[in-house]
Copies of this chain bind each other. A is one copy, B any other.
Amino acid sequence: MQDSASVGIVNPQVTHIDQPLTLKSGAVLNCYDLVYETYGELNAQRSNAVLICHALSAHHHVAGYHSEDQTTVGWWENMVGPGKPIDTNRFFVIGINNLGGCHGSTGPVSINPASGKPFGAGFPVVTVEDWVEQQARFATWLGIEQFAAVIGGSLGGMQSLQWGIAYTERVRHVLAIATTPKLTAQNIAFNDVARQAIITDPDFCGGDYYSHGVTPKSGLRLARMLGHITYLSDDAMAEKFGRDLRSGTYNFGYEVEFEIESYLRYQGDKFASYFDANTYLLMTKALDYFDPAHAYQGNLSSTLKNSKSAYLVLSFKSDWRFSPDRSREIVKALLDNNLDVTYAEMTCRHGHDSFLMFDEHYHDLMRAYMNNILL
């Protein structure tokens, strides 16, 4: 079914953690489930483990398939597999669904043991720092003292950066792709419109829609449509859709008319049919909150002063959501600390979503960096 460069059919695993986790908000999760997948083999020295951190809408299923059905493919199949840039013949790769997610790890849809009902609006807000704490504990449980690399794009890149700050002795290489040390006002503004779309949907029911037998599909659909625009570049949209009309002529009404409308509404509908609205809210808040330099008077160089990891920072010129300027801020702070840093700005035209797409230069760079990691 799959090509030889795929890890093939994989089975997610679940672990139950009983050690209480105090979140940044002060809330405590007494116990929780984490769902994860692994690809490749942990070597005898336990020196080849790689953690993949997921972004807003993704999860633990990074590579391979869940069944013969090709649509069950992992979200980074083009990057992770035997012979691929993150080579599972060499590395033991871990994908994990973060707390607050809606793909198996404990989140708003999970049953709250205290009430016997879904957490819903009662699920605490989680931060990038919380996730990294959760990932570090999970690594310990798995017997991994140090990762060869922690890798992520976008919100995932924030997690890899946080590893370099909070757990530098446990990660030799931090790969931060299409990310930022903090959101701008514009970024936060887009997130707030998305959240308001969900929260003001009458079917949101204050976040406890599960018990009302409804979901805030309209709001979640709008949030996704809006998000999608910001993940693509103006040029990429112009190339793919331009002003193409579905019927070749104006219909002077509000049904789908331009191809771009059809595409966006379809993406919105699809997403709203499977993703949890409360998780969406949580993920956007985690994005907004991430600002590790805040505790250092906004000085990112000071924030990274104890980091000992090596870094690969990658940005995409067409990414206007987290533009190369943001990556340059990271690189500057790393250089201020005389850290080992490799940086590239790539020309892929897909905007922010470029980090998920196949591009020869991008993949060659990733491959070269990963191949140079000593085990």
A contacts, CB < 8 Å to B: 24-27, 124-125, 182-186, 188-190, 192-193, 195-197, 199-202, 218, 221-222, 225-226, 229, 232, 234, 237-238, 240-243, 250, 252-254, 257-258, 260-261, 264-265, 268, 281, 285, 288-289, 291, 320
Contact = CB atoms under 8 A, between A and B. Distances in A.
Contact of A186 (B27, B197, B201, B229): B229
Contacts of A234: 184-186
Contact of A225 (B196, B240, B241): B196
A27 B253 CA distance: 12
Nearest to A257: B288
B243 A222 contact: no
A222 B237 contact: no
15 contacts: A24-B252, A26-B252, A182-B243, A184-B243, A185-B240, A185-B242, A186-B229, A188-B243, A189-B260, A189-B264, A200-B218, A201-B218, A202-B202, A252-B285, A320-B320
A74 B6 CA distance: 64
A110 to B, nearest CB: 19
Contact of A260 (B124, B185, B285): B185
Nearest to A244: B185
Number of copies: 2
Nearest to A239: B185
B186 A258 contact: no
A40 B193 CA distance: 42
A84 to B, nearest CB: 32
A261 B125 contact: no
Contact of A261 (B24, B188, B258): B188
Contact of A193 (B222, B237, B253): B222
Between A25, A185, A186, A252, the greatest number of chain B beta carbons within 10 A of the residue's beta carbon is seen for A185
Contacts of A188: 243, 258, 260-261
Between A183, A238, A243, the greatest number of chain B beta carbons within 10 A of the residue's beta carbon is seen for A243
Nearest to A284: B254
Contacts of A254: 195, 199, 281, 285
A44 to B, nearest CB: 43
Nearest to A325: B234
Contacts of A225: 189, 192-193, 196
A288 B268 CA distance: 20
Nearest to A23: B252
Given A189-B237, A196-B221, A320-B320, 10 more contacts: A184-B237, A185-B241, A193-B226, A196-B225, A197-B222, A201-B218, A202-B202, A222-B222, A226-B226, A243-B291
